Structure formats: C-alpha cells, structure tokens
Amino acid sequence: MGGEAAVEYSINKLAKLAGVSVRTLRYYDEIGLLPPKRVSGNGYRVYGQQAVGLLQHILFYRELAVPLEEIKRIVRSEDYDGIAALQGHLSALKAKRGHIDLLIANVEKTIAAAKGDATMNDQEKFAGFKRTMLEENEQQYGGEIRAKYGDAAVDASNAKWMGLTLEQYDEVQALSRCLNALLKSAFEQGDPSSEPAQTVCGLHKQWLGYFWTHYSKEAHLGLAQTYVDDPRFRSHYDDIAPGCAEFLRDALRIYCE
C-alpha cells in the first residue's frame, strides 16, 4: 500500500501534530479549505498525508496573515504549485525576518542614543526615516494595496524598501526624476508606442525593482490601471501633464504585450 493509505490521522492527532485546535480543523473543513480524506463509520474525520502537506501550506499562509478565503482560492486553483508556494513562503519569511531584525536593531540603538550610551550615524537615522515614510504610505494606500496584492507581497515589498541603503535611495529618487521628465516629453509626442514612451516603461520596470520582490507583466499592468482608476495615484501623474496616467497605462500595455 502507498504512503497515503498507510499513514492516517484522526482529527485529534492531526491537531496535536500541527499545533492547532480541533475546532480550527473542523472550521477548515466546514469552509472547504481542508476536508478530511474520509469520514469513518462512526462519524470521525480521518486525514491522510495529502491533508498534512496542505495543512502545512495553510499554516504558512496564515503566518503571513493571508485571509482564509484568499488561501482557499490559492490552494484550490488548478495551477497551484506546492513547491513554488513553499519557495514563495521562504522568500516572504526571510524578508519578514530581515524587516523585524532591522526594526529591533534600530529601536535598540535609538534607545541607547537617547540615554547617551551610543550615537547614531546618518545611515542608522536614515533607517528611521524610511520607516516613517513606510508607515505614512501604509496609512494612505495600505488597505487598497493589501486587498489587491495580499499581505505577503506587501510585507515583502516593505522589507525590501527598509533594506535600501542611502545610496540606493538616492538612485531611486534620481530614477524617478528621470522617469517623470522623459514621460512628459513622450506624452507631448502623443504616441504611447514611440521609443521615448517605451523607454519610460523600461525605466518604470527598473524603478519597481527597488520595491517588488517578484516582477510579472500582469502585476505591472494592474498597477498601471490603478494609476488611472485611483484618484490619488492619477493625480501624481496628471500633475506632470493632464492625461499622463492614461498615456503611461497605454504605453505599458504595449510594452508588456
């Protein structure tokens, strides 16, 4: 007999193995997230090895604060790749760990500096500055961005932002200025397929590389549409020239296709 048939767990044993409550497993079954392999004649749930692996993935997602409905959509999709999911979990957890380690170190150093036991150099103060910007961005856009991309992706992006050095931050600002200037010039030409417009798209992708841990054309196009649909984002580009947000979206459609 195969491993799946040989190794089975009652709901109590699986709960103990995973460190969760029996009530949690019952709820996961009720919402169709983690059904048992079978139900015995006396009505007890019986779980096999496949359920053990799936439960591990579910708990990874929960650790990253992904909502249960989103987890269900992910793990039940036809193209779900367990190995790719684990690799994604690992990257997100490492980014989260790095983010927390950085915050702990910065707070400890700030306390020591306030007591006069240590001094903070410009790079260390810069970390606090980035944290403030991150919190402001979270307050202004966090709800919409997390709903669109998920907590894991946003947390990983935030961790990457916090990991930028002062030199990298300066690079981002310089790239942003260059991108906006070239976007205005391309917009004035009026052709989103032109070489200047497509160069803007390449620069925009490069700019995203400072924040995103993974790039995809679909996500890039989704962000471009957000620039048009969300008045807060739209105003940023329309301040360059009225209509710039739609022009950039149209140029990115050509670039990604």
Query: Where residue 29 sits, what CATH number does that domain have?
Result: 1.10.1660.10
Residues 154 and 173 in one domain: no
Report the pLDDT averaged over residues 146-168: 81
Core vs surface per residue 154-191: b (16+ CB within 10 A) or e: bbbbbbbbbebeeeebeebeebeeebbeebeebbeeee
Q: What is the DSSP letter of 209?
A: T
How far apart, in whole angstroms, are the C-alpha atoms of residue 61 and residue 30?
19
Domain that holds residue 96: 82-162
Residues 238 and 176 in one domain: yes
Report the pLDDT averaged over residues 32-61: 90
pLDDT, residue 61, reads 81
Phi, psi of 159 (to 5 degrees): -65, -40
Residues 102 and 54 in one domain: no
Residues 147 and 179 in one domain: no
Under the banding of pLDDT at 50, 70 and 90, the label for residue 123 is low
Under the banding of pLDDT at 50, 70 and 90, the label for residue 2 is very low
Residues 178 and 134 in one domain: no
The total number of structural domains in the chain stands at: 3
Nearest alpha carbon to residue 204 among 176, 241, 246, 173 = 176
Residues 44 and 62 in one domain: yes
Of 131, 147, 162, the domain-final residue: 162
Angle at 62 between CA 56 and CA 65, to 5 degrees: 155
75 and 57 Cβ atoms separated by less than 8 Å = yes
Under the banding of pLDDT at 50, 70 and 90, the label for residue 26 is very high
Of 124, 141, 162, the domain-final residue: 162
Is a pLDDT exceeding 60 seen at residue 3? Answer: no
More reliable by pLDDT, 90 or 241: 241
Residues 50 and 117 in one domain: no
Report the pLDDT averaged over residues 80-85: 74
Of 135, 162, 189, the domain-final residue: 162
